[in-house]
């Protein structure tokens, strides 16, 4: 991405992220159906699904060909931050994420 590696143009590298993102999104939606959509009970899960969509969009920008290098790097950094926020939500089961452990 940052070094314009020729590996970025291989077919598996272009297809695999879509498969992984689709599996993540389907599993998150399935979990919503299993646990229920109640915002009062599963608000953390709704935040997690919303952030997963943001993560997917940022990943598309970071790996896309039609964006400048600076936009790709910014999208990559933002995607990594969103990923860590999602992991924090998964561990703490609250939308406060890592702040639960700090406060």
Those residues whose C-beta lies under 8 Å from the C-beta of residue 28, and which sit 6 or more positions away, are 45, 48, 49, 52
Helix locations, 36-92, DSSP H: 39-63, 69-92
pLDDT of the residue at 49: 85
Q: Does residue 4 have a pLDDT over 80? A: no
What's the pLDDT score for residue 17?
84
**pLDDT over threshold 70, residue 3:** no
Judged against a pLDDT cut of 80, whether residue 47 lies above it is answered with yes
pLDDT of 39 reads 58
Give the per-residue pLDDT at 54: 95
| Cα–Cα distance, 95 to 89 (Å, whole number) | 6
């Amino acid at each position: 991405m940052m070094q314009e590696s020729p590996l970025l143009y291989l077919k598996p590298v272009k297809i695999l992220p879509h498969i992984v993102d689709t599996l993540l999104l389907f599993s998150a939606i399935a979990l919503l159906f299993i646990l229920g959509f109640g915002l009062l009970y599963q608000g953390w899960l709704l935040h997690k699904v919303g952030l997963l969509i943001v993560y997917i969009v940022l990943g598309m920008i970071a790996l896309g060909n039609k964006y400048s290098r600076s936009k790709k790097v910014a999208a990559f950094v933002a995607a990594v931050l969103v990923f860590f926020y999602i992991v924090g939500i998964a561990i703490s089961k609250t939308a406060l994420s890592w702040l639960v452990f700090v406060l």
